[in-house]
Amino acid sequence: MKIYNTLTRRVETFVPHENGIVRMYTCGPTVYHYAHIGNLRTYIFEDILEKGLKYLGYEVKRVMNITDVGHLTSDSDTGEDKMIKGAKREGKSVYEIADFYTNAFFNDCSKLNIKKPNIVEPASHHIDTYIEMITKMLQDGYAYLSNNNVYFDVSKAKDYYQLSGKNPEDLMVGVRDTVEEDKAKRNPADFVLWFTDSKFKNQDMRWDSPWGLGYPGWHIECSGISGKYLGEYLDIHCGGIDNIFPHHTNEIAQSEAYFGHKWCNYWVHGEHLNDQTGKMSKSNGEFLTVSLLEEKGYDPLSYRYFCLSSHYRKVLVFSYEALDQAESAYKKLKARISKLDRTPNLHEDKIDYYQTQFKEAISNDLNTASMLTLVYDVLKDDELTDFTKLYLIDHFDQVLSLNLIEEEKEIDNELKEYVLLKIEERNQAKKDKNYDLADSIRDELLGKGVRLVDSKEGTTYEIM
C-alpha cells in the first residue's frame, strides 16, 4: 500500500513493523459536545483506512482514546478547559457530560457505519500510566517541575519540528496565540505534562500525584494509551490536520523521550471539512451534526458517500446543494443495485480483475473516489451476470460501508396506499407553496419508517 506520510511529506510504501499486522492509533473526540460533521469526516477517513488495510489482508489492531480530561480550548496552556466549559453550559458534572457525549459520538458513528475501534479508552482511566511516564521523563531530564506544574522541555527532543515543518519562531507565544507568556517555562514551546497549579483548581477530575493533586495535560493521554495497548512501536497514527501541531508533535516528543527510540513510522492526516464561511465550528453559524442532517430528511450515509467522493487529503466544502447532489447520486446507485437479479449465477472470470482494481484504488493513497467508480464500472459491465455484480459490490462494501445491498423489505398494502396518498397530498401542498404542510407530511412518514426521496422524475419512497 502507498500512503502519504506527513512525517516525510511523501507518498510512501507502507511497511509495518511486524509482517501482516498493523498497529494503528487514532485520536478520539473531546466529549464536551456533539461531534460536528467535520469531526466525523476524519473518523470516516480513518474507518476507510482501517477497512482498506483489512481488505488488503492485514490484521489491524486499532486503539482510540476518548478525551474526557485536560483538553484546553487553546493550544497554549492558558486556554479554557473544554470539559469544564461543557459542564458549565449544561449545569452537569464533567463525568455526566463525558458519558453523555461519548454515547452520542458512538451513536453518530453507527449511523455513518463507522466501526468502533477494537480498543476505546477514556483518558481519565489511565492516570497511573501517565504518572509513570512523566516520572521517567523527569528522571531522564526531558521534563522539569516549575511552579508546581510538570513541563516537557522541547529543546531536549530530537527534531521537535519535523512533523509540522514549523520553525521555532512560528511558535513564539504571544505572536501565535495572543496569550500571555507562561513565565514558568524554559522555552515558549514547552508544554504541560501534569497540571497541579492551574487556574482550574476546583475541577472535578483531579488525582493524587507525586507533584500534588492535579490532572494530566492533553497530549500525554495519547502517548500513554497508545503505548499501553499497542506497545512501543506504532505503525500508523491518524487524526485531522489540526492535530499535527501541537498535539501530534508533542506526542512524538513524549513517546520518543520515554521509549528512547523512534516510535511511529507513518503519520496520516485527513484534511478538514469546511463550511462556506471557512472553518467548521461548534459555536459559530449552524452547528452541523448528524442529527441535524437527519431532521432535514437526509440519510446519514449520503454524507458518508459525499465524503468518499473526495480524497481525504483535499479540503471538502460542505453545502446543502453539494449534499443534495451526493444524496441523489447515492440513492440512484442503490436503486440500480436493488434492481439486480439475485438468482445465484456466479461467473468467476472477471472477479479477480475487479478485486485487483479495488485493491489498487485502496493502495493508491486511499483513493475512495476510484473505489466508488469501480462500483459503477461493475454495474456497467455487460459481461458480468447480475449475481456476479452483487458479489463484487458486496465485497467492495466491506470497505465503503454504504449499505449498497439492502435486505429486501416488504411494505404492507395498507401502508403503501397511505404513503401514495400522502405523496399526492404533499405534491399539492408544494404546488400551493404550503411548505409547512409538505414538511409535516414528510416528517409524519419518517416517523412511520418511510423516507420520501425527491428527484426530477418525482417523489418515490423507501422503507428504512
Which residues here bind ligand AMP, judged by CB under 6 A?
27, 29-30, 38-39, 41-42, 67, 239-240, 242-243, 272-273, 280
Residue list 221-240, contact with Zn ion (CB under 5 A): 222
In the complex, what is the shortest distance from the CB of residue 106 to Zn ion, in angstroms, rounded to a whole number?
18
Please compute, for residue 393, the number of CA atoms within 13 A of its CA located in the half-sphere on the CB side: 28
Binder of residue 272, out of Zn ion, ligand AMP, none (CB less than 5 to 8 A by kind) = ligand AMP
253 is a contact residue toward Zn ion (CB under 5 A)? no
Helix (H, G, I), strand (E, B) or coil at 331: helix
Residue list 27-46, contact with Zn ion (CB under 5 A): 27
Please name the helix (run of DSSP H) or strand (run of DSSP E) that holds residue 349, with its range, or none: none
Binder of residue 29, out of Zn ion, ligand AMP, none (CB less than 5 to 8 A by kind) = ligand AMP
In the complex, what is the shortest distance from the CB of residue 79 to ligand AMP, in angstroms, rounded to a whole number?
12
Place of cell 512501536: 233
Distance CA 408, CA 397 (A): 17
Binder of residue 196, out of Zn ion, ligand AMP, none (CB less than 5 to 8 A by kind) = none
Binder of residue 222, out of ligand AMP, Zn ion, none (CB less than 5 to 8 A by kind) = Zn ion
In the complex, what is the shortest distance from the CB of residue 134 to Zn ion, in angstroms, rounded to a whole number?
17
In the complex, what is the shortest distance from the CB of residue 38 to ligand AMP, in angstroms, rounded to a whole number?
3
Nearest CA to 291 among 112, 29, 460, 115?
112
Binder of residue 240, out of Zn ion, ligand AMP, none (CB less than 5 to 8 A by kind) = ligand AMP
Q: Are 149 and 192 in contact (CB under 8 A)?
A: yes
Distance CA 289, CA 353 (A): 39
In the complex, what is the shortest distance from the CB of residue 30 to ligand AMP, in angstroms, rounded to a whole number?
4
In the complex, what is the shortest distance from the CB of residue 57 to ligand AMP, in angstroms, rounded to a whole number?
27
Binder of residue 66, out of ligand AMP, Zn ion, none (CB less than 5 to 8 A by kind) = none
In the complex, what is the shortest distance from the CB of residue 333 to ligand AMP, in angstroms, rounded to a whole number?
25
When the beta carbons of 34 and 391 are compared against ligand AMP, the nearer one is 34
- Contact string 1-30 vs Zn ion (x = CB under 5 A): --------------------------x---
Beta strands in 126-166, from DSSP E residues, in sequence order:
143-146, 149-152
DSSP result, 190-240 = -EEEEESSSS-TT-S--B--TT-SBEE-HHHHHHHHHHHHH-S-EEEEEEE
Nearest CA to 310 among 337, 272, 360?
272
When the beta carbons of 41 and 185 are compared against ligand AMP, the nearer one is 41
Q: List C-alpha distances in Å: 18 to 223, 233, 322.
A: 20, 9, 42
Total binding residues toward Zn ion, as defined by CB under 5 A: 2
Specify the stretch interacting with Zn ion by CB under 5 A; choose among 108-116, 173-181, 219-227, 267-275.
219-227
Nearest CA to 118 among 75, 162, 74, 64?
64
In the complex, what is the shortest distance from the CB of residue 60 to Zn ion, in angstroms, rounded to a whole number?
18
Nearest CA to 43 among 226, 317, 270, 369?
270
Residue 272 DSSP code? P
Q: Which residues contact 80 (CB under 8 A, 6 or more apart)?
A: 72, 73, 74
Binder of residue 38, out of ligand AMP, Zn ion, none (CB less than 5 to 8 A by kind) = ligand AMP
Binder of residue 72, out of ligand AMP, Zn ion, none (CB less than 5 to 8 A by kind) = none
Q: Max CA-CA distance within the chain?
A: 76
Nearest residue to ligand AMP, using CB?
A: 240
Q: Binding residues for Zn ion, per CB under 5 A?
A: 27, 222
